[in-house]
Amino acid sequence: MKFKQKALFAALLFTATISVAQAGVVIGGTRLIYDGGKKESSLSVNNPDKAPYLIQSWVETTGGGAEKAPFIITPPLFRLDGGQQNVLRVIRAGGNLASDKESLYWMNIKSIPSAEKKEGQNTLQVAVKTRIKLIFRPDGLKGVPEEMTQNLKWQRSGNQLQVTNPTPFYMNFQQVTVGGKEVKEATYVAPMSTARFEMPAGITGNSVNWKIISDYGGIGPQHTGAI
C-alpha cells in the first residue's frame, strides 16, 4: 500500500472511532434584562440529557478587552447532572453605569460535557459557549423599547442604512428591510447613538420596515418609516 493510501486509511479509521458529545444544555432566555432597582437578576439553566455537564459562566464588556464587567455570576462554575436545573444569579458589583440610559454587556455560558471513557475508542468532547446580551436598565427608566421604537430616525448614507436612536433603550432588530429587501447586517442600535448597516444592492424606494426583539425574546409588530 502506498504512503498516501496508508495515510488516508488511517485518517478514515480514526474518524470512524470518534464520537462527538452533543451539548444538551438549555438556557432559559435569549437575553437578560437587569432591573437596576433590584439587587440581582437570574437565568435558568436546564440539562435534559442523561449525562452531566460542567457549567461555567461569566460576564464581559462589549469591547472584550481587559476591562472587567461590573457584574458577577454565582455560581460561576458547577456540575449540572442529567435531568436537573439550576439558576444563575447575576449580581452587580460596583461600576459607574449611566443612570439615564441602558448599558450592554455579554453574558457567556459554557457547557462542558462529561468525558465517557470507552475501551478502544477515541472520544472528542465539544464544549459549547452560549453568548447572550445582558442589558442593564437603570432604576427609574420607565417603559420598554417597543413603546419608543417609532422614534428611530432612518436615512440613506451612500450604500449604507443609517439609524439614529434618540431613546434610552437598546433597539435589537429582528428584521430590517428597505424597498422589500432585507438588510442582513442590521443587529442593534445603542441608546442615544447612531448605527450604520450595509444595504443590499439594487434597492429602490424609500420605505424602511423593521421589527424589534422584546425583553423576553419575542418578536414585535412591524414598523414603517422612510429614508
Asked if 158 and 202 sit in the same domain, the reply is yes
Q: What is the pLDDT of residue 124?
A: 61
Domain enclosing residue 31, as ranges: 22-137
Q: What is the pLDDT of residue 4?
A: 45
- The answer to whether 113 and 53 are in contact (CB under 8 A) is yes
| Residue 4 DSSP code | H
Asked if 41 and 120 sit in the same domain, the reply is yes
| Residue 128 DSSP code | E
Supply the Cα-derived Rg of the chain in whole angstroms: 23
Q: Is residue 4 part of a domain?
A: no
Indicate the residue type of 144.
V
Q: How many residues are given for the chain?
A: 227
Q: Which of 137, 167, 191 is the last residue of a domain?
A: 137
Q: What is the pLDDT of residue 35?
A: 97
Asked if 205 and 129 sit in the same domain, the reply is no
Q: Which of 113, 137, 161 is the last residue of a domain?
A: 137
Q: What is the pLDDT of residue 122?
A: 63
Q: Which of 116, 115, 49, 45 is nearest to 82 (CA)?
A: 49
Asked if 151 and 131 sit in the same domain, the reply is no
Q: Is residue 216 part of a domain?
A: yes
Asked if 133 and 216 sit in the same domain, the reply is no
Asked if 120 and 170 sit in the same domain, the reply is no
Q: What is the pLDDT of residue 222?
A: 98
Please, what sign has the CA dihedral across residues 107, 113, 114, 115? negative
Q: Which of 101, 118, 137 is the last residue of a domain?
A: 137
DSSP per residue, 11-70: HHHHHHTEEEPPP--EES-SEEEEETTSSEEEEEEE--SSS-EEEEEEEEETT-SSPBPS
Per the structure, how many domains does the chain have? Answer: 2
CB proximity list for 125: less than 8 A, separation 6 or greater: 21, 112, 113, 115
Q: Is residue 12 part of a domain?
A: no
HEC letters along 59-94: EEECCCCCCECCEEEECCEEEECCCCEEEEEEEECC
Q: What is the pLDDT of residue 66?
A: 78
Q: What is the pLDDT of residue 120?
A: 63
Asked if 220 and 156 sit in the same domain, the reply is yes
φ and ψ at residue 49, rounded to 5 degrees: -75, 175
Q: What is the pLDDT of residue 204?
A: 82
- 10-residue mean pLDDT profile of the chain (227 residues): values are 44 36 77 96 96 96 87 98 97 94 97 76 77 96 96 94 98 96 96 96 90 96 96
Q: Is residue 91 part of a domain?
A: yes
Q: Is residue 7 part of a domain?
A: no
Q: Is residue 5 part of a domain?
A: no
